[in-house]
Amino acid sequence: MAFDLTARLAERRAADLYRQRPLLESPQGPHVVVDGQPLLAFCNNDYLGLANHPEVIAAWCAGAEQWGVGGGASHLVIGHSTPHHALEQALAELTGRPRALLFSTGYMANLAAITALVGQGDSVLEDRLNHASLLDGGRLSGARFSRYRHNDPASLASRLDKAVGDALVVTDGVFSMDGDIADLPALAAVAKARGAWLMVDDAHGLGTLGAQGGGVVEQFGLGVDQVPVLIGTLGKACGTAGAFVAGSEELIETLVQFARPYIYTTSQPPALACATLKSLELLRRDTWRREHLAALIAQFRAGAQAIGLALMDSQTPIQPILIGDSARALELSRRLRERGVLVTAIRPPTVPAGSARLRVTLSAAHSQAQVQLLLNVLAECYPTLETADA
């Protein structure tokens, strides 16, 4: 029996869910060239504007000169170099944890942590709106898999009461498609009262939240007792690539011994670790980046509400404009692009059916004038979209 891939692709096109890769022909930044067109971009996760920072680039180049361009082996063979070790120590310090363990991607870090900690006879409980990597890790673990209502401690408590074996509660810190922040103090209290561990993926909070950029755990003042397993990614606010798990000495040693995505993967280039060390230095030193970003978020929300856009409950750099219908979201994105502004339409299955949106992301590299230009274009295009639908 042959695979009917043509029919599958045709169905996706017909549902306005077909995905295509834009070709970026410039470095990341507010001004980009995509598919040959110069655009003002509001759709990357470079929240602090470090992806193209000259000091980070210089650190990468110096690291390559000293350490070469490849990891060469897995960490447990001969791929764990001095820059990797120094980066792990810096990440542990930033997050207030005893240790951190470096991974090549956030997806790998999430799969590694979940599958190493729970298995058959255990329970994993996840927020319904968790990132795909967290959901996949829960399913692949072999543990009893359950999803509680979004950001709802009472729903979590009800499901924990039915849990078996060791129970791991898993949530995003900042939800990547809605931009809202998990109620971690309440979730931590529920988990601890029932003997469960809480795992938080702070991919979108690290660097943007907390006085020193330590993320959502710093903002809430939560230590390793409340959040035993903390995940962070380095390809967003840090502007480089990779991820880490931070926690107790015992947690990290358990991952080194049992986490297959860690054990059987070549380490990231040491030069990348050198670049990330520099970005962490800038992240902590340049507090103006978070202050400027907060001002841009307030500016955008006030302007969008004046236009009548349907915003979501987010005080983070992720500012989704809820459209609902996938075709309408694509059309609004197209109209913005015609006017030189790039904002990606996000559609199912990335978001629930009927909740397609334009996902605006703001960066400390944006200016107030650029945010105002975005608002002006939205004010021009959004009402005409409504008129066309009438």
Question: What mean pLDDT comes out for the span 299-320?
Answer: 96
**20-65, pLDDT tens digit by residue?**
999 999 999 999 999 999 999 999 999 999 999 999 999 999 999 9
**Structure tokens belonging to residue 337:** 């692009």
Say yes or no to pLDDT of 385 above 90: no
Give me the mean pLDDT over the 298-312 stretch: 95
Q: Which of 386 and 8 is assigned the larger pLDDT?
A: 8
Q: Is the pLDDT of residue 135 over 50?
A: yes
pLDDT number for residue 2: 76
Place of tokens 């690291």: 63
User: What confidence tens digit (pLDDT) does each residue in 143-162 have?
Assistant: 999 999 999 999 999 999 99
Question: Residue 172 has what pLDDT?
Answer: 98
pLDDT band at residue 1, thresholds of 50, 70 and 90? Answer: low
pLDDT digits (tens, 9 = 90+) for 164-173: 999 999 999 9
pLDDT tens string 213-228: 999 999 999 999 999 9
Domains in the chain with CATH codes? 22-48+287-389 (3.90.1150.10), 54-285 (3.40.640.10)
How many angstroms separate the CA atoms of 246 and 187, rounded? 19
**Residue-wise pLDDT tens digits, 226-262:** 999 999 999 999 999 999 999 999 999 999 999 999 9
Per-residue pLDDT of 63-89, as tens digits, reads: 999 999 999 999 999 999 999 999 999
How far is Cα 229 from Cα 110, in angstroms, rounded to an integer?
A: 10
Read off the pLDDT of each residue in 304-318 and give the average, rounded to a whole number. Answer: 95
pLDDT score, position 384: 81
Catalytic residue among 75, 236, 278, 292: 236
Paired tokens of 262: 């860690």
Distance CA 277, CA 87 (A): 6
Both tokens of 190, joined, read: 């529920």
The answer to whether the beta carbons of residues 181 and 96 sit under 8 Å apart is no
Residue of 133, 141, 155, 176 marked catalytic: 176
Residues 373, 374, 379, 381, CA torsion sign: positive
Distance between first and last Cα of the chain: 46
> What's the pLDDT at 313?
92
Res 132 pLDDT > 90: yes
pTM of the predicted structure, to 2 decimals: 0.94
Q: Is 176 one of the annotated active-site residues of the chain?
A: yes
Task: Name the nearest CA neighbour of 204 among 189, 190, 219.
Answer: 219
Residue 81 known to be catalytic? no
Tell which residue, 90, 86, 83, 91, has the closest CA to residue 63. 83
Per-residue pLDDT band for 390 (boundaries 50, 70, 90) equals very low
Specify the range with the lowest mean pLDDT, choosing from 174-178, 199-203, 317-321, 350-354: 350-354
- Of the residues 53, 84, 204, 278, only one is catalytic, namely 204
